[in-house]
Amino acid sequence: MEDNLDLLIKKCIDNDRGGQLRIYQLFSPVLYGICLKYMKNEDDAKDVFQEAFIIVFQKIKQYKFEGSFEGWMKRIFINKLIETLKKRKRDYLFLDVFDSETEIIEEEELEAIPISQEKLIEYIQDLPDQYRMVFNLFVFEKMKHKEIAEMLQITEGTSKSNLNRAKKILQTKILAVLNFKIA
Amino acid sequence: MKKKKIEDVFSSIENFSSVPPPELWAMIEEKLDKPKKKKATAIWWSLAASLLIGLAITSGLYFNSNEDDTLIKNNNVVLDNQENNSKSNTTPSTINTTPLNSKTTITVAESDNPVTNKTLNKNQESTKNTTTSINKKNKPSIQLNNKTISIAESSKNNAKTSSSKVNSTEVDNNLNRDKNAIITSSNVQSTKINESTSSASPNKTEVGNTINKNKTETIVSNNNTQSSSKNGTNNSSADPNNTKIGNTINKNKTEAIALNSNIRSASQNDTNSSLYKQNITEVNSNLKTDQKKELALNTSSEKDLISFNDSLNKVQIALELQQLENRLNNKEDKEEPKAEKDLLKEKWSVGLYAGIVNSQSYGNKKTLGNDIESKQNTGYGVKTNYKLNKKWAVSSGFKINELGQSVANVSYYNKNQNTLAAGITNDFFASNPSVEYISTNRNYVFSSDNSNQKVQSSGTSNLTGNIDQQLQYLEMPLEISYSILSTSKAAIMLNTGGFIGKLISNEIFLDGNSIGGNLDVNNFVYGSKLSSTLQYEILKQTRLFVEPGLNYYINPLKTQSFNQFQWGLNFGVNFGF
B257, B221 Cβ separation under 8 angstroms:
no
What pLDDT is attached to residue B467? Answer: 84
Look at strands B104-107 and B167-176 and give their pairing: unpaired
A43, A29 Cβ separation under 8 angstroms:
no
CA separation for the pair B389, B102 (Å, rounded): 70
**Rg of chain A taking only CA atoms, in angstroms:** 19
Question: B403 pairs with which residues across the strands?
Answer: B471
CA-wise closest residue to A126 among A92, A169, A165, A64: A169
- H or E, element range at B316: helix B314-332
- Tell me whether residues B334 and A32 touch, CB distance under 8 A: no
CA separation for the pair B457, B452 (Å, rounded): 9
For residue B12, the distance in angstroms to the closest alpha carbon of chain A comes to: 7
Asked whether residue A133 carries a pLDDT value surpassing 80, the answer given is yes
Global ipTM: 0.83
Per-residue pLDDT in tens (0 to 9) along chain B, 577 residues: 445 677 788 888 888 888 999 888 988 888 886 655 555 566 667 666 666 676 676 566 655 555 444 444 443 333 333 344 444 343 333 333 333 333 333 333 333 333 333 333 333 333 333 333 333 334 333 333 333 333 333 333 333 333 333 333 333 443 343 333 333 333 333 333 333 333 333 333 333 333 343 433 333 333 333 333 333 333 333 343 333 333 433 333 333 333 333 333 333 333 333 433 444 344 344 444 444 444 444 444 444 444 545 555 665 666 666 777 676 666 554 544 444 455 456 788 899 999 999 888 876 677 766 777 788 888 999 999 998 888 889 999 999 998 888 888 777 777 666 555 555 555 555 555 444 566 777 677 776 555 545 445 445 556 778 888 889 999 999 999 998 888 878 889 999 999 999 999 888 888 888 888 888 888 899 999 999 999 898 888 889 999 999 999 988 888 777 888 888 999 999 888 8
| Chain A stretch 5-44, residues whose beta carbon is closer than 8 A to a beta carbon of chain B | 15, 17, 20-21, 24, 28-30, 32-34, 36-37, 42-43
- CA separation, residue B270 to residues B159, B197, B199, B206, B228 (Å): 10, 11, 14, 8, 47
| Chain B stretch 339-368, residues whose beta carbon is closer than 8 A to a beta carbon of chain A | 341, 345
Chain A hits for B335, CB-CB cut-off 8 Å, are 55, 58-59
What pLDDT is attached to residue B104? Answer: 34
Chain A hits for B337, CB-CB cut-off 8 Å, are 59, 62
What pLDDT is attached to residue A81? Answer: 92
Q: Which long-range contacts (CB under 8 A, 24 or more apart) does A164-167 make?
A: A164/A100, A164/A103, A164/A104, A164/A105, A165/A98, A165/A103, A165/A105, A165/A131, A166/A127, A166/A131, A166/A132, A166/A134, A166/A135, A167/A105, A167/A107, A167/A135, A167/B6
CA-wise closest residue to B244 among B148, B127, B151: B151
What is the average per-residue pLDDT within A127-131?
90
State the DSSP code for B447. Answer: E
- CA separation, residue B283 to residues B156, B173, B430 (Å): 20, 8, 73
Q: Residue A118, SS3? A: helix
For residue B18, the distance in angstroms to the closest alpha carbon of chain A comes to: 5
In degrees, to the nearest 5, what angle opens at C-alpha B465 toward C-alphas B462 and B470? Answer: 140
- Tell me whether residues B286 and A57 touch, CB distance under 8 A: no
A94-182 classified as CATH 1.10.10.10: yes
Q: Residue A108, SS3? A: coil
What pLDDT is attached to residue B148? Answer: 35
What pLDDT is attached to residue B167? Answer: 39
CB atoms within 10 A of CB B370: 19
What pLDDT is attached to residue B145? Answer: 38
CA separation for the pair B94, B424 (Å, rounded): 8
CA separation for the pair B256, B147 (Å, rounded): 11
Please report the number of interchain residue pairs, chain A to chain B, with beta-carbon separation below 8 angstroms. 122
What are the φ/ψ torsions at residue B284 (nearest 5 degrees)? -110, 130
What pLDDT is attached to residue A183? Answer: 54
One of 3.40.50.800, 1.10.287.130, 2.60.40.2470, 2.40.160.20 is the CATH number of B85-111+339-576, namely 2.40.160.20
Chain B hits for A47, CB-CB cut-off 8 Å, are 286
State the DSSP code for A165. Answer: H
In tens, the pLDDT along A76-89 reads: 999 999 989 888 76
**What residue ranges in chain A does DSSP mark as E strands?**
110-111
A92, A129 Cβ separation under 8 angstroms:
yes
Q: Residue A128, SS3? A: coil
What pLDDT is attached to residue B50? Answer: 63
B534, B492 Cβ separation under 8 angstroms:
yes
B463, B452 Cβ separation under 8 angstroms:
no
State the DSSP code for B444. Answer: E
- CA separation, residue B250 to residues B147, B218, B224, B253, B257 (Å): 7, 19, 16, 10, 6
Cα dihedral B251, B252, B254, B260, rounded to 10, equals -30
What are the φ/ψ torsions at residue B4 (nearest 5 degrees)? -135, 150
- Tell me whether residues B32 and A20 touch, CB distance under 8 A: yes
| Chain A stretch 70-89, residues whose beta carbon is closer than 8 A to a beta carbon of chain B | 75, 79-80, 83-84, 87
Q: pLDDT higher for B488 or A140?
A: A140
What pLDDT is attached to residue B57? Answer: 66
Instruction: List the domain boundaries for chain A.
Output: 5-87, 94-182
Asked whether residue A140 carries a pLDDT value surpassing 80, the answer given is yes
What pLDDT is attached to residue A172? Answer: 87
What is the average per-residue pLDDT within A115-128?
89
For residue B4, the distance in angstroms to the closest alpha carbon of chain A comes to: 5
The string of DSSP codes covering B419-431 is: HHHTT--HHHHHH
What are the φ/ψ torsions at residue B445 (nearest 5 degrees)? -125, 130
Confidence of residue A24 (pLDDT cuts 50, 70, 90): very high
- CA separation, residue A165 to residues A83, A148, A158 (Å): 22, 16, 10
A5-87 classified as CATH 1.10.1740.10: yes
Q: Output the average pLDDT for chain A.
A: 83
Confidence of residue A30 (pLDDT cuts 50, 70, 90): very high
Taking the Cβ of residue B280 and every Cβ of chain A, the question of whether any pair is shorter than 8 Å is answered with no
CA separation for the pair B320, B193 (Å, rounded): 15
Taking the Cβ of residue B540 and every Cβ of chain A, the question of whether any pair is shorter than 8 Å is answered with no
B412, B463 Cβ separation under 8 angstroms:
yes
- Tell me whether residues B13 and A121 touch, CB distance under 8 A: yes
> Within 13 A of B553's CA, how many CA atoms are on the CB side?
31
What are the φ/ψ torsions at residue B88 (nearest 5 degrees)? -70, -15
CA separation for the pair B537, B548 (Å, rounded): 18
State the DSSP code for B253. Answer: T
pTM here is 0.36
Instruction: List the domain boundaries for chain B.
Output: 85-111+339-576, 125-332
What pLDDT is attached to residue B317? Answer: 64
CA separation for the pair B498, B476 (Å, rounded): 9
CA separation for the pair B34, B477 (Å, rounded): 38
Based on the number of CB atoms within 10 Å of its own CB, is A175 exposed (0-12), middle (13-18) or buried (19 or more)? Answer: middle
What pLDDT is attached to residue B396? Answer: 92
